[in-house]
Amino acid sequence: MTRSMSTLTRADLAETINRKMGFSRAESLDLVESILDHMGNALEGGENVKISGFGSFVLRDKKERIGRNPKTGVEVPITPRRVMTFRASQLLKEKIAKG
């Protein structure tokens, strides 16, 4: 079974808010932007973001380590950095599995 992949955008979210909540298009887009800014600022400040029933955006600090160039085999230091991962909630995993 081949499934075409589409992308949900900010505009799509705003359109849904517009239809379901009755806000104007501009208000709906402002709401989406505000939520995304709030989430981004929290992550930038070192906070994890958890949306119950959806999932968690989790920050993790990685230490410096030695990596290897797969083509040449030369060892290269990988600098310490912060990474973000997304962990889907059990509810979201179940919805996705049902497809």
Give a yes or no: residue 1 inside a domain. no
* pLDDT score of 1: 44
Are 52 and 37 found together in one domain? no
Residue 80: phi and psi, rounded to 5, are -65, 145
Are 32 and 54 found together in one domain? no
Are 99 and 52 found together in one domain? yes
Give a yes or no: residue 91 inside a domain. yes
pTM to 2 decimal places:
0.78
CATH number at residue 36: 4.10.520.10
d(CA 98, CA 91): 11
Between 5 and 61, the more confident residue is 61
Max Cα distance, the chain (Å) = 59
Are 42 and 55 found together in one domain? no
pLDDT in tens, 22-63: 999 999 999 999 999 999 999 999 999 999 999 999 999 999
Give a yes or no: residue 2 inside a domain. no
Q: The domain containing residue 73 runs over which residues?
A: 48-99
Are 34 and 75 found together in one domain? no
